[in-house]
Amino acid sequence: MTETAPLNSDSIPSVMTSTGQSLADLSQDQTLLIVFLRHSGCSFCRQALADLHKIEGDLGDMNTKIVVVSMSEQEELQSMLKKYQLPEAIAVSDPARILYQHFQFGTGGLAQLMGPSVLWNGMKACIFEGHGVGKPEGNVRQMPGVIVLRTGQVLYRYQHKNAGDRPDYLQLVQQAITS
């Protein structure tokens, strides 16, 4: 987990969410768990959505809202959220990767995207957990990441070590709000 310096809410790009509000505005009354997905065809992204579904109630008890950022178009992203039973999650379509770049989530190298542990974890997510593989949208080299945001301030920034890295989202939020 990487702690970062606070960002002024004016510095967060004003990419609109599915609520019609900016992230800075949404974070004024609640904590936001912002999960940056790789692409819609990624098994790990589908696995992440399943993980978020399991903890949605716990996050709600902590006054934390799930925000999912994807390079997919809004309709595709909303469909994925519905499939993984996250209808209350806030969707952000960012095909231009404005937020990815702002929060410094770059692209991965070969080892981060196709290393042995990534391939093994991908097989587990795809086959054993049933998340499958879909059609890639956006930059397939894009790395995922997580931001915990409150009152326009980044409380924590989590940079995935590789595409198959699986953070404990609940622990990230708990540490961020108690720090």
Which residues fall within 8 angstroms of residue 130, CB to CB, at 6 or more apart?
Answer: none
Which stretches of the chain are DSSP H helices? 23-26, 43-61, 74-83, 98-102, 110-114, 116-123, 169-178
9-178: which CATH number, 3.40.30.10, 3.90.1530.10, 3.40.50.2300, 3.60.15.10?
3.40.30.10
Label residue 43 left, alpha or beta by phi (over 0 means left) and psi (-120 to 50 means alpha).
Answer: alpha
**Could you state, in order of their start, the residue ranges of all structural domains in the chain?**
9-178
> pLDDT at position 3, please?
42
pLDDT at 126 over 80: no
| β-bridge partners, 92 | 69
pLDDT band at 79 (very low <50, low <70, confident <90, very high): very high
Which range has the worst mean pLDDT, 23-32, 43-52, 113-122?
113-122
| Pick from 96, 102, 108, 40: nearest CA to 68 | 40
| Pick from 86, 172, 98, 175: nearest CA to 139 | 98
pTM of the full structure: 0.86
Mind listing the pLDDT tens digit for each residue in 159-174? 999 878 899 999 999 9
Amino acid occupying residue 143: M
> 117-126: long-range contacts (C-beta < 8 A, 24 or more apart)?
117/162, 117/164, 118/162, 118/163, 118/164, 120/164, 121/44, 121/164, 121/166, 122/43, 122/44, 122/163, 122/164, 125/43, 125/44, 125/46, 125/47, 125/164, 126/43
> pLDDT at position 104, please?
94
Question: Can you tell me whether residue 13 is helix, strand or coil?
Answer: coil
